[in-house]
Structure 1
Amino acid sequence: MLKQNETKTSMILNYRWLYDTVRKRFESDEAMEAFLPKALTPATLKQKGDDRYLSAMSQRVFQAGMQHSVVNAKWPAFEEAFWGFVPETMVMLSPEQIEGYMKNSSIIRHYTKLQTIPRNAQFILDIRQEQGCSFGEFIADWPSADIIGLWRLLAKRGARLGGRSSAGFLRLAGKDTFLLTSDVTARLIAAGIIDHEPTGQRDRQIIQDAFNELQQDSGRPLCQLSAMLSLSINPRF
């Protein structure tokens, strides 16, 4: 059961403590800032074509349960095999075409994951029709103060974008988000924000509230706060 204390009563998770703890891992302020991840600006997210979002979705789907470096090394071959992941083209992939990709040794031949490409293409096209804007604009305008709401939508309507994959996709796409890695979770537990691995929406909302307070105190994006929480547990991150 989660503790009901306010996040600010947890002295170990105030931003000053977090900054001082992480800063000790680096030789200089410049080294720390260079190490921390950077999110894309809303304007840049809006400029990206929706093919880049489908590519990032697909890449994250294939990363799940595999070494990311293996998937990343294969991704140029995926880009070529799937003609740049244009949603209007990918939504037309037939079962027979997907079956044909199982003979392509240049990509990772995982039939169930390959099936998500046309499904997620349809998801992107549906959002575009419903919202009257590009998928990039939709992602860019989603408030970081409710990033877990975007996770929830991706998990519900996307294919194989549940669990950590929703946040993983957003990180690949450049949208500001925190990640619930084992180190981040360990710090949240040590700080008394939660007392077990987060398993549901109530858990995630409490964590979102804690991140929102850290963001208000620091002015930093969620991705950097997430990295700092991880570094406070694991110096090698």
Structure 2
Amino acid sequence: MTLDYRWIYDTVRKRFATDEAMEAFLPTPQTTEALKQKGDDRYLSAMSQRVFRAGMQHSVVDARWPAFEDAFWGFVPETMVLLSPEQIEGYMQNDRIIRHRTKLQTIPKNAQFILDIRQEQGRNFGEFIAEWPSADIVGLWRLLAKRGARLGGRSAAAFLRLAGKDTFLLTSDVVARLMAADIIDHAPTSQRDMKIVQSAFNALQQDSGRPLCQLSAMLALSINPRF
């Protein structure tokens, strides 16, 4: 089965008063050039913010994030990779940040991940992320889950969205639309499932010319008007 983009568009358009209102609501990814120019400290910050958001109200984490930026010196990977267990314990006494030991421990681990990618690729992490093809975004999810710290499940896509990289999200509403269209018959978990979902999004993108982030938002809106 396939997803009918025209039906999806018409269904979602009815949720808004004007074309402009709909377009303003839909997310917009950053350009390839903007992603390349962003410092690797911004990617580590986004990774860490996503890790702390998991299982917590995003607004609570976001309100504390300026304090995190200050406490962790702007998340420069070369500095963060040197954080010692003793320093991590010291952060457990800082009441300006969220004191979650296991999540704090991911910061030097993900700093090392970023530095490893830079060494392997001979380019900045931002260039690596920017040039990864959207037609295989689930492959990037898989790499992040395998090599990053606490970036499995929905966290890989959520990190990419925070960083500005175009990606779809597999929210419950998106999964519900994919199931209603007989693309899948259960929440996707296996690599085979993910390839099927990626193919469906690739076809939608070819039909519409829209970025993946807008397409997943439209799928969600076609199920839940209050998305």
Q: Scaled by the length of structure 1, what TM-score is found? A: 0.95
Q: Which residue of 2 aligns with 1:202?
A: 192
Q: Which residue of 2 aligns with 1:89?
A: 79
Q: Which residue of 1 aligns with 2:209?
A: 219
Alignment of 1:2-81 (within 5 A): 7-8=1-2, 13-81=3-71
Q: 1:201 Cα deviation (Å)?
A: 0.9
Cα distance in 2 between the residues matched to 1:107 and 1:38: 30
Partner of 2:10, secondary structure, is helix
Q: 1:56 Cα deviation (Å)?
A: 0.1
Structure 1 unaligned regions, length at least 5:
1-6
Partner of 1:193, secondary structure, is coil
Q: 1:79 Cα deviation (Å)?
A: 0.3
Letter in 1 for 2:113: F
Determine which of 96, 109, 116 is the counterpart of 1:119. 109
Cα distance in 2 between the residues matched to 1:198 and 1:136: 28
Identity of aligned pairs, percent? 83
Q: Which residue of 2 aligns with 1:3?
A: none
Q: Which residue of 2 aligns with 1:179?
A: 169
Cα distance in 2 between the residues matched to 1:223 and 1:192: 21
Letter in 2 for 1:190: A
Q: Which residue of 1 aligns with 2:155?
A: 165
Partner of 1:105, secondary structure, is coil
Partner of 1:155, secondary structure, is helix
Cα distance in 1 between the residues matched to 2:224 and 2:60: 24
Q: Which residue of 2 aligns with 1:109?
A: 99
- Give a deviation string over 1:181-229, Cα, whole Å, max 9, x none: 0000000000100011112111111000000000000000000000000
Q: Scaled by the length of structure 2, what TM-score is found? A: 0.99
Partner of 1:96, secondary structure, is helix
Q: Which residue of 1 aligns with 2:143?
A: 153
Q: Which residue of 2 aligns with 1:4?
A: none
- Give a deviation string over 1:156-199, Cα, whole Å, max 9, x none: 00000000000000000000000000000000000100011112
Q: Which residue of 1 aligns with 2:226?
A: 236
Partner of 2:174, secondary structure, is helix
Q: Which residue of 1 aligns with 2:134?
A: 144
Cα distance in 2 between the residues matched to 1:65 and 1:74: 15
CA RMSD of aligned residues (A): 0.5
Structure 2 unaligned regions, length at least 5:
none
